[in-house]
């Protein structure tokens, strides 16, 4: 693996971790809260954003306007049984979700969830590092590169990994700050 390929893979892991962070509620209405909620639509699990227009009316309200009114009940049910802890209100055409302010206990739960997502991201980065180092060791064993060259490359791989892990930790700190902000 070359450095560019390693960095591309690590960037993808960082982006995935950021998407996970975006699904955590912070007390403000945000359409990305519903990214992980899917609805059974004609026998297939379908993300809500594929079935409806999702918008934030104000800082406390999310509006969901389905393209097909017949799936309104299914969307409402999926939101109700999700782990978001929010209750949808259906007026027959649009689903509105009032996002209540978070309690101190709930904020701490969300911080733990953010930490879990950050750890998953770090594990993904470490897996990329392991694969790259294993490849270096294999090339060294086959005589394609020298021992010194292999060690230098492994050191570079570790430095790249450290940089990306620090990036995840800073994103985690930002998200925790956002969650704990009252």
Predicted confidence at residue 31, as pLDDT, reads 80
Pick the CATH number of 28-98 from 3.30.1360.40, 2.60.40.420, 3.20.20.100, 3.40.50.1000: 3.30.1360.40
Asked if pLDDT for residue 82 goes beyond 90, the answer is no
Report the alpha-carbon distance of residue 44 to residue 36 in Å, rounded: 15
pTM for this one?
A: 0.74
What are the sequence ranges of the domains in the chain?
A: 3-21+103-180, 28-98
Q: Which of 114, 117, 120, 155 is nearest to 136 (CA)?
A: 155
Whether 25 shows a pLDDT value over 90: the answer reads: no
The CATH homologous superfamily for domain 3-21+103-180 is: Ribosome-recycling factor (1.10.132.20)
Residue, of 126 and 107, whose pLDDT is higher: 126
Please check the confidence at residue 182 and state whether its pLDDT lies above 70.
no
Closest CA to 100 of 21, 19, 26: 26
| Position 178 pLDDT exceeds 90 | no
pLDDT at 1: 61
Q: From edge to edge, which strands make up the β-sheet containing 61-66?
A: 52-58, 61-66, 95-98, 88-90
């Amino acid at each position: 693996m070359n450095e560019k390929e390693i960095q591309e893979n690590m960037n993808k892991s960082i982006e995935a971790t950021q998407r996970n962070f975006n699904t955590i509620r912070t007390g403000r209405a945000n359409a990305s809260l519903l990214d992980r909620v899917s609805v059974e639509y004609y026998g297939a699990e379908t993300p809500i954003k594929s079935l409806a227009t999702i918008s934030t009316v104000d800082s406390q309200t999310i509006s969901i306007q389905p393209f097909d009114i017949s799936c309104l009940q299914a969307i409402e049910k999926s939101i109700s049984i999700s782990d978001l802890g929010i209750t949808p209100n259906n007026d027959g055409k649009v689903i509105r979700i009032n996002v209540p302010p978070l309690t101190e206990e709930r904020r701490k739960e969300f911080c733990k969830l953010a930490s879990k997502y950050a750890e998953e991201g770090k594990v993904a980065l470490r897996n990329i590092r392991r694969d790259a180092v294993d490849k270096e060791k294999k090339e060294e064993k086959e005589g394609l590169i020298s021992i010194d060259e292999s060690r230098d490359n492994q050191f570079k791989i570790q430095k790249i990994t450290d940089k990306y892990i620090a990036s995840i930790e800073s994103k985690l700190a930002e998200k925790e700050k956002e969650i704990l902000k009252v």
